[in-house]
Structure 1
Amino acid sequence: MTTDLAHTFHGIGVSAGTAVGPLVLVRPAPQPPADEAPTTDAAAAWAKVQAVLEEVAAGLEARAAAADAHAKPILEAGAMMARDPGLAAGIETQLGAGLGVTHAVAAAVAEYCAMFESLGGYMAERVTDLQDVRDRAVARLLGEPEPGVPALSVPSVLAAHDLAPAETATLTADTCLGIITEAGGPTSHTAILAAQLGIPAVVQAVGILSVPVGTTVALDGGVGEITVDPTAEEVALLAERKRRREAALAGGTGKGCTKDGYPVALLANIGTVEDARRAAAQPVEGVGLFRTEFLFLDRDTMPTLEEQTATYTEVFSAFGERRVVVRTLDAGADKPLKFADLGPEENPALGRRGLRLGMIRTDVLDTQLQALAAAYHATGADVRVMAPMVATQAEAVWFAERVRALGLPKVGVMIEVPSAAIRSRGILYHVDFASLGTNDLQQYTMAADRMQGELASLLDPWEPALLDVIAMACEGGHTMGKPIGVCGEAGGNPGLALVLVGLGVTSLSMAPSKVAAVRTVLAAHTREQCQQFAAAARAATSAGEAKRAVLAIADPILADLI
């Protein structure tokens, strides 16, 4: 939301740091023309689209060949999507229905995006990849330049409605001082890559594109504030904050713990083998959430036992003796797997997804558990397996019996629906641990679709109602002597990390780039202080008030890192 269009914008800070420089706008994507002629020769139109998709894929591959280690897999993933047979089939179907070529591409991509958005988390992040392929294909079909970042002759701050992963991946901190987008979120590729590159970034800064190109802007990627035409004093304040932040992070190493020595494991969220390799090289204590969906999506048949075993073995081996918490397949009616489609549902988010699907398609779940067990026995790794969308004790018992029958050492559940939080004591009686999926838990607590931008105000993780629900879950864990972690994005927010520890959370899982800041703020506060922060946040009447209440009583270092 904007406050003062003449001077200040506010968004969501997703990559901490500060920057000052001239504003440059990313070249917008061309739109399918409203007067485009319908397709009358579907075969000829399909041949044309196929050629264009191959050009897009080849272009991304060429850029990948010249890219560095962090950008290469992202560009290659975009190329793979341009060649995706499912997307191709969707476009061919739209052409057969008579849509013009650019509208056919847009319609097919929209269907794929809807599928990925329904998955949430890691897969929802792939939506921007798909949209980038769409935009590049539409531009080529119209004979226009592909959209993207212009050549930066001087170090600049980039502004865009959204930034495709293929564009973000090729940026460097030398020429790109900061990133501002009107769309996106904390889990978007823009956010993750900007943090990896050390580029300050703010998303959801509505109205930023109204600022003229070349205008000097100052941004704070921690608090999400952008100042237009900053004064010398404002620039000096930003520079001082940058200095304090760098000094604070310089000493952050080792395992996570509070100032008085209370241990809080700091873990990574991963979704692919490549994610595992990158995270394993970072100073994290293991994996708090291994999303396994990437193995299953866009396939006509279920991945084989051997294929899954090989993948899981590679992931477990990467982390050696460090823990790896695996979430079994989180799919269902809202995630149309071709080999496990239970048919349409009026409200898929409340339908047969997660463990509910596994209890119907036991062949899918059992094969995955057998593969996990084989990989565990092959590596001897610290493997912990949890089920998504558990709502009752009966579901927890059913899942735990299946996992333990295969000799897997630890079984847990995701707490991401309010019933599981409210009844956590009973559920935890039957399993070894639980992990809070704060993204879904908030969505269900607030009855607000987390993919609907208009409801963003209800989905701030500082929301006291969410903290109350988390507190109930943690009380059950304390009573049963079972650990409860957090693997939602809230765990990577330094201020919320303090609150979560105060509520009783024993581990925090996040993007690896966020670990240093969380480790630093934990080391600056005692467990008792964390409990005070939790009480202050729960006593608030709004998310904003909760955040301000914690900042007011925390060490000043938090304000530099949040």
Structure 2
Amino acid sequence: MGVSPGRVFGPVLRMPDALPEPDGSARLPEGERDAAVAALERAVAAVSAGYRARADAAETPAPASRGGALASSGSAPASAEVLRATAALASDPSLIADATAAIRERGLTPEAAAWETLETVAAQFAEVGGLQAERVTDLRDIRTRVVAELTGAPLPGIPESAEPFVLVADDLAPADTAELDPARCIAILSAEGGPTSHTAILARGLGIPAVVAAPIARELVDGDIVLVDGTTGEVMRDPDATQRASATSEPAVALEPFAGPGATADGTAVGILANVGGPADVAAAVERGADGVGLFRTEFCFLGRTEAPGFDEQVAAYRSVLEGFRGGHVVLRTLDAGSDKPLPFLTPEHEQNPALGVRGFRTARLHPDVLTLQLEAIAAAAGQVPDTAAWVMAPMIATVTEAADFASQARAAGLDTVGVMVETPAAALMSAELFAHVDFVSLGTNDLAQYTMAADRLSGPLAELGDPWQPAVLRLIAECATGAAGRPVGVCGEAAADPLLARVLVGLGVTSLSMTARAVPAVGAAIGETSLAQCRSAATAAVAATTAREARAAAAAVIAVEPRG
């Protein structure tokens, strides 16, 4: 499955082999066990601090106001967010509780105890499946780093090369992906992973074409020449001259920043917006020319904590993003906790199927005070930056009653423009009724595809079912836009970052597109060179298809873009 656009070819370099498993047969004398526990605790603390240090180094504290001159637009915000989440996981005391017991009670060495315990937890996460399974790579990276810290062994890492290469691995840990140099690593090919895995998120932030869930990745050896298409998911071993000639540079890198404002070739306005995960993302969004922010993930200031941030801290965080888009608008999504983002003070500790459990707006049933405080903080921040339009929306809405409840609470807090996320088929089908209570909706296509197709969005074997080109998903988007009757309908899922699919979405009735900052120039240019009539014709052709592959090909034929794959 292609998860980061671009079509390139080059020689393969494989990730080095992982550290070997420590000897589990050695036993420590009673008198050495306390010291071994202390050594384990120091190693875990050092690994957690290492993740945080990488996150700090990745962040670009660039202040931004629209139109300002900015120097960089790299992957820093996405990298920092992922690394901080992994640091929080590593520092969770419960993660090594069994390892401590194994040292004290069984006399295992600290490295053997850490390996055994973290591998057991990883296996448990894999068995649960869903978004929990996506943390398996993170857990094994923590395990490797703890063992290396204890033993002094060198860490496996990104291979070094003076020439550009295609990085091939079973999967990549966030600490590895965050340190990739796009000037050397021209593509990523992994055997595992899904469209919302950390590999995918960071590859998109870096602008590196990437394909995940590709079995061929296990067959390739150093020096093999492969062509990788991160849009279609196509992978070719030993491409011929014609196939090599079809390679292109990554479009978001090649294009100048988008000049905006977004519109089709015949003048129909289309918002070209950016997704941001925190204040550090604003610099990249402004530099790449985004019209505003279509998705501000406010959970960045909640993650890795044992209690919710206070009112003043939240106000400061939200204000910093609003200040970056003075004269524009910012859509703030309230806390999207649960599923793959559990919070100890908010979500249930154990759920059999967290993707279908207490997540998003549903957490307010158990802890209404957290939502109330957040809405008050958003309203206060908006009051301090009156020249930025602050819109607010709730995630994981399934019923009209939920939409009405959220809208009532948001307006009571002093927020005027209120919307909801459409991530469930139920919400898409009831959009007309939702609009009796809200001012706009925003489609989260990753979850919408997952729930429509009954396929875990992180499952490699089911990646094709999670493709937003699935005609059933496109038909639900069309149904939602029809119910909106001309009112604002945005898409803030990864589908918006695909220039061809973006045009289909506009043809279905979507009025704004929000994406990773790097995709803004390519998508803005694609919309600007296509008429609304062409978009509608492409949408009609795609919706009439019976498979995702046929839908893409049909739309490409209408837009006169030769489909690949």
Compute the TM-score of the two structures, normalised by the length of structure 2. Answer: 0.85
CA deviation map 1:394-451 (0-9, x unaligned): 2222111111122212001111111111111111111110111111111111122212
Please tell me the residue identity of whatever aligns with 1:19.
F
1:171-320 correspondence to structure 2 within 5 Å = 171-238=180-247, 241-242=248-249, 249=255, 253-320=259-326
Cα distance in 2, alignment partners of residues 290 and 246 from structure 1? 21
Question: Which residue of 49, 58, 66 maps to 2:40?
Answer: 49
Inter-partner Cα distance in structure 2 for 1:423 and 1:505: 16
Residues 1:216 and 1:460: Cα distance change in structure 2 (over 3 Å): same
1:30 is aligned to 19
Pair 483,133 (structure 1): closer, same or farther in 2 beyond 3 Å: same
Deviates more, 1:22-31 or 1:132-141: 132-141
Distance (Å, rounded) in 2 between the aligned partners of 1:217 and 1:474: 41
1:402-551 correspondence runs (5 A)? 402-478=409-485, 481-551=486-556
Q: Distance in 1 between matches of 2:472 and 2:460?
A: 20
Q: How far apart, CA to CA, are the structure 2 residues paired with 1:346 and 1:190?
A: 25
The 2-side partners of 1:332 and 1:85 are apart by 15
Q: d(CA) in 2 for partners of 1:459 and 1:225?
A: 16
Q: Are 2:184 and 1:165 equivalent residues in the alignment?
A: no
The code of the aligned residue for 1:172 comes to D
2 CA distance for matches of 1:208 and 1:338?
37
- Once structures 1 and 2 are overlaid, which stretch shifts more, 60-69 or 523-532? 60-69
Where does residue 90 of structure 1 map in the other structure? 94
Q: CA deviation at 1:373?
A: 0.7
Alpha-carbon spacing, 1:512–1:334, altered in 2? closer, same or farther (3 Å)? closer
* Alignment root-mean-square deviation, CA: 3.4
Task: Specify every segment of 5 or more residues in structure 1 that has no aligned partner in the other structure, as ranges.
Answer: 1-10
Alignment of 1:322-361 (within 5 A): 322-332=328-338, 336-342=342-348, 344-361=350-367
Structure 1 residues 548, 71: closer, same or farther in 2, change over 3 A?
closer
Q: Is the 8 A contact 2:194 2:212 kept in 1?
A: yes
| Distance in 1 between residues matched to 2:333 and 2:254, nearest whole Å | 34
- Kindly indicate whether the alpha-carbon contact (under 8 Å) linking 2:315 and 2:381 is maintained by their aligned counterparts in 1: yes
Q: Distance in 2 between matches of 1:391 and 1:225?
A: 35
CA distance in 2, matches of 1:436, 1:269: 13
C-alpha distance in 2, partners of 1:251/1:74?
19
Identify if the C-alpha distance between structure 1 residues 61 and 484 changes in structure 2 by more than 3 Å, giving closer, same or farther: closer
1:103 to 104, 116, 124: 116
Q: How many residues align?
A: 540
Q: Which stretch shifts more, 59-68 or 452-461?
A: 59-68
Q: Is the 8 A contact 2:164 2:185 kept in 1?
A: yes
The 3 A distance-change label for structure 1 pair 367 and 19 is: same
Q: Could you say which residue in structure 2 is the equivalent of 1:14?
A: 4
| Percentage of identical aligned residues | 44
Q: What CA distance in whole angstroms lies between the structure 1 residues aligned with 2:2 and 2:474?
A: 20
Instruction: Point out which structure has higher relative CO (alpha carbons under 8 A, 6+ apart).
Output: 2
**Structure 1 residues 201 and 212, CA gap change in structure 2 (3 angstroms):** same
Note if contact 1:23-1:159 (Cα within 8 Å) is conserved in structure 2.
Answer: yes
Give the letter aligned to residue 493 of structure 1.
Answer: D
Normalising by the residue count of structure 1, what TM-score does the alignment of the two structures yield?
A: 0.85
Counterparts of 1:352 and 1:545 in 2: how far apart (Å)? 36
Pick from 121, 135, 147 the counterpart of residue 138 of structure 1: 147
Cα 1:42–1:406 change in 2 (3 A) is farther
State the alpha-carbon separation in 1 of the partners of residues 212 and 322 from structure 2. Answer: 34
**How far apart are the structure 2 equivalents of 1:390 and 1:78?**
25
